[in-house]
Amino acid sequence: MTLTDTRVDDTYPTRITGTPEHLPRVHPTVWGTEADGPIDAATLANHETKGYTVVDDMLSVGEVQTYWQELVRLSSDREPAGDERVIAEAKTGEVRSIFDVHEISDLIAELVRDPRVLDRARQLLGSDVYVHQSRVNYMPGFKGTGFYWHSDFETWHAEDGMPSPRAVSCSIALTDNYPFNGGLMIMPGSQRTFVQCAGETPDDNYKASLKDQRVGVPSEDDITKMAAEHGIDQFTGQSGSALWFDSNIMHGSGNNITPYPRSNIFLVFNSVENALQEPFAASAPRPAFIAGRDSTPISR
């Protein structure tokens, strides 16, 4: 079967051969209004400026325990060698992430449709939404490795064919997030700049990048410039809290050498008006368990 090239003009070119540049974002961060959901106008304005919002106690203590038990079950039921959706740590072989969890777990499928989650996603994106990606991340004590600085949208644009950064991620903490156990670091306001990356995308790049991303990451010089301009915040707080952040914001996390694990449920919502096309900088799209290509709106 011959694939039809459905790509529109590329507003955010990346994986280039020349010197990467910092391109101004031409799309808003917040697409909806106060009337569209539970987020008030002041919080929406702050999200537009900083690119992220923290919702404390989005899940109750009992719900956290229920979902934690589900994470334990998911990791126990699947071995990295037998399921491509299970990503192992490069050094230890332990489970690092499990993808497509809203299709694997009935509990997480219900969470996707929970008004506390779905209504915020719709409001921030100003439209109906679908799940672009879902996963659970395990960062065990002593052994958990972090994620290098990156913009999710850079990869989703280059390798999945996402046209614009009209997507938002929700990271729900199932363990307490301390400043010292690998908590997510984020550059507030950096979502307003698209940082190009150099280098060609290898075939099946996802097989390596989900363990240790080397392609599609900014240079140290670019990270230094962005940090100098925007500073660095860190997501800390009790289990049950949620971090909503823009798809283009620069973020990363360090290794966890403490005894305290850091695990979360990670849900990515994309606007149905921003459905995936052919990749902008890869020879073939990534598998659907990493980048959902069914843009049917989520219904309750």
Q: Which fold has domain 25-213+221-233+248-271?
A: Jelly Rolls (2.60.120)
pLDDT in tens, 98-109: 999 999 999 999
Name the band, by pLDDT with cuts 50, 70 and 90, for residue 286: very high
- The two structure tokens encoding residue 277: 């096309």
- The two structure tokens encoding residue 270: 């994309």
At 275 the pLDDT is 97
Tell me how far apart the alpha carbons of residues 94 and 144 are, in angstroms, rounded to a whole number: 9
Which residue has better confidence, 207 or 151? 151
Average pLDDT value for residue range 253-266: 90
- The two structure tokens encoding residue 234: 């860190």
Residues 6+ apart with CB under 8 A from 91: 145
Question: Does position 6 have pLDDT exceeding 60, yes or no?
Answer: no
What does each C-alpha distance from 275 to 259, 272, 289 come to in angstroms? 41, 6, 16
Name the band, by pLDDT with cuts 50, 70 and 90, for residue 2: very low
Question: Does position 1 have pLDDT exceeding 60, yes or no?
Answer: no
Q: Are 287 and 206 a contacting pair, CB within 8 Å?
A: yes
At 81 the pLDDT is 53
> Identity (one letter) of the amino acid at 155?
T
pLDDT in tens, 112-134: 999 999 999 999 999 999 999 99
Tell me how far apart the alpha carbons of residues 121 and 116 are, in angstroms, rounded to a whole number: 9
Q: Residue 142: left if φ>0, alpha if ψ -120 to 50, beta else—which one?
A: left
pLDDT in tens, 204-215: 888 777 766 778
> Identity (one letter) of the amino acid at 124?
L
Question: Does position 3 have pLDDT exceeding 80, yes or no?
Answer: no
pLDDT in tens, 69-97: 999 899 887 554 568 898 877 677 778 88
* CA dihedral over 118, 132, 167, 130, signed as positive or negative: negative
Tell me how far apart the alpha carbons of residues 213 and 145 are, in angstroms, rounded to a whole number: 12
Q: What is the mean pLDDT of the chain?
A: 91
Of 135-144, 228-237, 253-262, minimum mean pLDDT range? 135-144
Domain extents in the chain = 25-213+221-233+248-271
Of 51-55, 72-76, 174-178, 288-292, minimum mean pLDDT range? 72-76
